[in-house]
Amino acid sequence: NHWIMAWAGLEINTLAILPLISKSHHPRAIEAATKYFLTQAAASTLVLFSSMNNAWYTGQWDITQLTHPTS
């Protein structure tokens, strides 16, 4: 129930799926893997930024604090 664990799961998923996408070494597969990586990096950045803002305003890293008026 922590934002850090959600982010870690997102990163583990990225590292696990990228070799499967680019396995065939076809130019389209490499392009798809690159696009997937960039999309996941943007999503990871958004999750980290949002969780840091939530922690700044609420003082906690818990996901359950989303009902706080300032979040």
Residue 39 located in a structural domain: yes
Give the list of residues 6+ apart from residue 64 with CB closer than 8 angstroms, or none. Answer: 1
Against a cut of 0.75, is the pTM above it?
A: no
The DSSP annotation for 7-69 comes to HHHHHHHHHHHHHHHTTT--HHHHHHHHHHHHHHHHHHHHHHHHHHHHHHHHS--BGGGGGST
Tens of pLDDT, residue by residue over 5-64, are: 877 888 888 888 888 888 888 889 999 989 988 998 898 888 888 888 878 887 877 766
Q: How far is Cα 18 from Cα 30, in angstroms, rounded to an integer? A: 9
Domain with 49 in it: 26-56
Task: Please indicate, yes or no, if residue 33 is contained in any of the structural domains.
Answer: yes
42, part of any domain: yes
Q: Is residue 43 part of a domain?
A: yes
In a domain, 35, yes or no: yes
Task: Let me know if residue 36 belongs to a domain.
Answer: yes
Residue 67 pLDDT: 61
Q: How many domains does the chain have?
A: 1
* Residue 51 counted as domain residue: yes
